[in-house]
């Protein structure tokens, strides 16, 4: 069983939901990321989505755009992100790490070399925002061979026929994008999300994480009632931005938000 499968299975046994924080690797500096990952696990994270910075983050709102700019200004490339995962694994061989980003940096590294390095350093899943299942003929098998999960988005606009096709190509979990928009957009509508998650469940066996628009403990709790996992990104990256000049303050600020979410999600 992969680390991601194991994690969701264990949570299910304990009747808990996954808390999945997103941060952009190398924001605001390369040395910040690995300690922050460990701190997030301590504060209650079950899976970590680690953003690979890209110069043209088309699916992201201003908060994560700026995070990408800070990370790139600090010199963060895909190789550095992979090195961070290797370092993280020295202190944590249990928490799944999913790399999230755009296809182009992977294209330039080469699919084969990327897949090999992911396996070697301990990456568990990869979510490439601009890579739909239709374009996965080449990269899909390279990941499958190595037991790395290819995670896909499902959107409010995704038809049922497509959901079924995506579920076939995906492993690990499905990431339901709660709203039409970019990351960090306005709040989600929990009832709509609940109805869509129900539809997805009827078409797919995989656990379902929900992201976009989860801002605080209250929305995290509400979503955890209907989904298997809660993804939180911009709310955390906002804290990184607020403390970019005093990196020592980043970890406590991010941890506090996560701990609140964890508590709200676990409350009966």
CB of 54 to another protein, least distance (A): 7
Per CB under 8 A, does 77 bind another protein?
yes
Q: Which residue of the set 49, 124, 149, 228 is catalytic? A: 49
CB of 3 to another protein, least distance (A): 24
**Which among 201, 17, 227, 22 has a CA at the least distance from the CA of 125?**
22
Single out the residue of 132, 203, 244, 259 in contact with another protein (rule: CB under 8 A). Answer: 132
Per CB under 8 A, does 55 bind another protein?
yes
CB of 42 to another protein, least distance (A): 31
49 an active-site residue? yes
Single out the residue of 39, 74, 83, 103 in contact with another protein (rule: CB under 8 A). Answer: 103
Per CB under 8 A, does 44 bind another protein?
no
46 an active-site residue? no
- Residues 255 and 39 sit within 8 Å (Cβ to Cβ): yes
DSSP state of 209: E
Per CB under 8 A, does 96 bind another protein?
no
Query: C-alpha distances in angstroms, 76 versus 24, 100, 220?
Result: 10, 14, 30
Query: C-alpha distances in angstroms, 111 versus 133, 138, 211?
Result: 15, 8, 27
Pick between residue 151 and residue 223 the one whose CB is nearest to another protein: 151
Pick between residue 76 and residue 238 the one whose CB is nearest to another protein: 76
- Site size for another protein (CB under 8 A): 44
Which residue reads 């550095």 in tokens?
A: 80
Single out the residue of 18, 20, 177, 227 in contact with another protein (rule: CB under 8 A). Answer: 177
Q: Which long-range contacts (CB under 8 A, 24 or more apart) does 192-200 make?
A: 192/156, 193/223, 193/226, 193/227, 194/225, 194/226, 196/156, 197/226, 197/227, 199/160, 199/163, 200/154, 200/163, 200/167, 200/174, 200/176
**Residues found near another protein in the complex (CB under 8 A):** 54-62, 65, 69, 72, 77-79, 102-109, 129-132, 134-135, 152-159, 162, 166, 177, 180-182, 185
Active site residues: 49, 60
């Amino acid at each position: 069983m992969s680390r991601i499968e194991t994690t969701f299975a264990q949570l299910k046994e304990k009747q808990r939901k996954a808390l999945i924080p997103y941060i952009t690797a190398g924001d605001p500096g390369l040395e910040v990321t690995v300690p922050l990952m460990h701190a997030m696990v301590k504060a209650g994270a079950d899976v970590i989505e680690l953003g690979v910075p890209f110069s043209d983050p088309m699916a992201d709102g201003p908060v994560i755009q700026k995070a990408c700019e800070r990370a790139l200004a600090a010199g963060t490339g895909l190789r550095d992100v992979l090195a961070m995962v290797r370092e993280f694994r020295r202190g944590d061989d249990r928490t799944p790490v999913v790399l999230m980003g755009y296809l182009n940096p992977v294209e330039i590294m080469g699919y084969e070399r990327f897949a090999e390095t992911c396996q070697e350093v301990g990456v568990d899943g990869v979510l490439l925002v601009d890579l739909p299942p239709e374009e996965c003929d080449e990269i899909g098998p390279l990941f499958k061979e190595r037991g790395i999960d290819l995670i896909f988005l499902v959107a409010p606009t995704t038809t049922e026929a497509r959901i079924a096709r995506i579920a076939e190509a995906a492993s690990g979990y499905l990431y339901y994008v709660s709203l039409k928009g970019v990351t960090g957009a306005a709040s989600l509508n929990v009832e709509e999300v609940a109805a869509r998650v129900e539809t997805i469940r009827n078409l797919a066996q995989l656990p379902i994480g929900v992201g976009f628009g989860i801002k605080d403990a209250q929305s995290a709790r509400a979503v955890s009632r209907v989904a298997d996992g809660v993804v939180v990104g911009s709310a955390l990256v906002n804290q990184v931005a607020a403390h970019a000049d005093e990196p020592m303050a980043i970890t406590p600020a991010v941890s506090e938000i996560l701990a609140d979410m964890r508590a709200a999600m676990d409350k009966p």
